[in-house]
A and B are shown apart, each in its own frame.
Chain A
Amino acid sequence: MFEKILIANRGEIAVRIIKTCKEMGIGTVAVYSDADSKSLHRMCADEAVHIGGTAPSESYLNADRIIGAAKKTGAGAIHPGYGFLAENADFARLCEDSGIVFIGPPPQVISDLGDKTVARRIMADGGVPVIPGADNSFSGPGELAKQADIIGYPLLVKASCGGGGKGMRVVRHKDELADSLASASSEAKAAFGNGTVYLERYIERPRHVEVQVLADRFGNTVHLFERECSIQRRHQKIVEETPSTALTQELREEMGKAAVQAAKAAGYVNAGTVEFLLDESGSFYFLEVNTRLQVEHPVTEMVTGIDIVRKQIEIAAGRRLELSQADIKPGGHAIECRIYAEDPANGFAPSPGRIACFRPPDGPGIRHDCGVYAGFTVPVEYDPILAKLVVHAENRQIAIERMKNALSGYVMAGVGTAVPFLRDVIDSKPFRKGETFTDFIDTHFPQWQPSIPDRDVAALAFIACEMWGEVSGAKGAETARPGIPTPWETLGHWRL
């Protein structure tokens, strides 16, 4: 086993990985940028190395500096977390070449699965259901038009190297095809440096259901069942749960088998996630494989009792998976809400700033993976995820009540979060009925505004503070740094 692991990430995921390392008796090395010198992940680790400037290219995306930090501290392995270098095959290769173990799949698997057309071909060859579409992305517009007729409308134009909805177009009629191909291709070229596009059938009102897999180097592959991740904004998940309300036991087993088949077809090793689109008839189609730890992995951990990060580390260290599919018996229901620094009443615009007061909920069946603390200034340069609130209960209904109550007890002042929005989502009829499709927010919460809490109580609380003095002590800390305007000084009354 490794003596020391470097965590090439920041925020809640770095903190979460450090915790498992500590449980395993493994030393931890954090890396941090200028903006993160006071960050929680830096302070939690046994050692911390400053790797450079605030810009990600100077720090968390700078492969050479991260490898340098690993060498300097004698870390035998690097855990990349999610985002940043987690799905970068070149980085994985550089780790290998430097004699450091990359905790993730082999570089070739990362690059194969990172290319959508290659991944699609691997899956189709491996017998995994793929969305009907064209396999040859290098064909010209004339050939694509012929393929479009075979696939049928509505169809989707997608960028081969795309993600996040960029370079993607829904085409409902034949006469829109040429324009959509041209605009998707130019958008893809601008965003990814590659204008290659391909076609596939557009699935109406799909659900996003993914399956967690674990694979060791000896060909043992198991799945840890599904996660339902249909509730998304800007193509990014914000609520995830397991089990999915859309699956029968039969379909669950079928999708699990397909995920294992997908992992085997790709030669997968380590933890990964096979994403599927599930249509209303119960047909499912391969979407992509995320070759890393997922943000939403805790819901799976809650119902299976398996620490996925521990498994990742064990597999990377060459251990055999000592789990057979029959050993994995999920229990109860888990829901995760992502807590981002964002303003749900204003198009989910980011809202960085200083956290003045912070008290997350706790109690039976509540897990809070968190990368911030009261007094921390959330930097503007990085992803706005602050924390993840996860609940586990014996069934979905109790899990919903537990989550609703936990969100009501979630106190964060100073930085805006979607907590009030998430509470309304969890408490809504369509969510309670399990009617979660990828258009959930657009359909049910298009113009959401927060309900104002009891104004009288708010006024009385304000007076209580005036009478009984400073309660949060937030101002003292700010005056200790004269000359550097804090967001509060420059923002005035602006509500984050």
Chain B
Amino acid sequence: MEYNLNVEGETVAVSVQEEDRDRFSARIGDREYSVEKIGLMDGLLILSVNGKQTGIGIGDPDGGRDVVINGCPCFVNDDSMQPRGRGGRRPAGKASNMVTPPMPAVVVRVMVNEGDTVSEGQPVAVVSAMKMETTLYAPFGGRVVSINAAEGDKVSPGDILVDIEKVGE
């Protein structure tokens, strides 16, 4: 079986041959691996890879898995199953062109009203997560079309708190 995996934003092509119930062999590039399932312990998967035993923590975020090896987590997903194949790490912060929190958070205040004209970089809302406040800025100049969140609302990345219509387009 062939897998096209995305490991922290890089594609890893794996060719897999199932040996028996607890064993498979795999080839990645010119590297050969023999993998044996030793067991499961409190959610920790114990594998033997080419005779070397490793305990691996597994989390299941949507669309992939967090794999924790030696204390370091990394995100793996299956490119072939997820045609929109997404990278592991979201590019940090400012590139976003919507007013959305970078992490699950609570709205502290919204500083604009519907119909307001805002300029690029103007603070429009403040959210708080775990006692740390983050200010969200207008990604471009324009007019505020709608306010979709109120003080105290729980919000998540992707939720657009303030809808801004670009002016001059």
**Interface residues, chain A, CB within 8 Å of chain B?**
341-342, 346, 349-353, 356-359, 374, 380-384, 407-414, 416, 419-420, 423, 450-468, 470-475, 485, 487-496
Contact B64 A493 (CB under 8 A): yes
Asked if B115 is at the interface (CB within 8 A of a chain A CB), the reply is no
Q: Which of B23-57 contact A (CB under 8 A)?
A: 24, 26, 28, 31, 33, 35, 37, 40-45, 47, 49, 54-57
- Tell me which of B5, B24, B103, B159 has the highest count of chain A C-beta atoms within 10 A of its own C-beta: B103
How far, in Å, is A213 (CB) from chain B's closest CB? 28
Shortest Cβ distance from residue B63 to the other chain A in the assembled complex, whole angstroms: 5
Smallest CB–CB gap between A352 and chain B, Å? 5
A489 closest partner in B (C-beta):
B62
Q: Are B59 and A356 in contact (CB under 8 A)?
A: yes
Contact between chains at B45 and A465 (CB < 8 Å): yes
Contact B70 A412 (CB under 8 A): no
Find the B residue at minimum CB distance from A478: B60
3 nearest A-B residue pairs (beta carbon): A413-B59, A411-B57, A356-B59
Question: In the complex the two chains form, what is the Cα distance from A494 to B103 in whole Å?
Answer: 9
Known: A352-B103, A494-B90. A465 touches B71 (CB 8 A): no
Bin chain B's interface residue count.
35 or more
Q: A460-B49, A487-B156, A493-B62 are in contact. Are A357 and B76 (CB under 8 A)?
A: no
| With contact pairs A357-B44, A459-B28 given, residues A451 and B69 touching in the complex (Cβ less than 8 Å) | no
CB nearest neighbor in A for B16 = A463
Give the interface centre of B26, B44, B67, B159 by most chain A CB atoms within 10 Å: B67
Report A-chain residues with C-beta under 8 Å of the C-beta of B131.
350, 382-384
Q: A356-B60, A384-B131, A491-B104 are in contact. Are A472 and B71 (CB under 8 A)?
A: no
Closest B residue to A449 using CB positions? B89
Does the CB pair A413–B71 fall under 8 Å?
A: no
Determine if B58 is an interface residue (Cβ-Cβ < 8 Å). Answer: yes
Contact of A411 with B55 at beta-carbon distance under 8 Å, contacts A349-B102, A461-B47 already known? yes
In the complex, whether B141 has a CB less than 8 A from a CB of chain A is: no
Q: How far is the CA of A359 from the CA of B78 in the complex (A)?
A: 26
- B100 → A minimal CB distance (Å): 11
Q: Are A464 and B37 in contact, CB atoms less than 8 angstroms apart?
A: yes
Which of B40, B58, B156: most chain A CB closer than 10 A?
A: B58
Instruction: Judge whether A453 and B24 touch: CB under 8 Å.
Output: no
Q: List 24 A-B contacts (CB under 8 A).
A: A342-B130, A356-B61, A356-B66, A359-B55, A382-B130, A384-B130, A419-B71, A452-B72, A455-B74, A456-B12, A457-B54, A458-B76, A460-B49, A465-B45, A468-B37, A472-B43, A490-B156, A492-B86, A493-B63, A493-B77, A493-B87, A493-B90, A494-B90, A496-B103
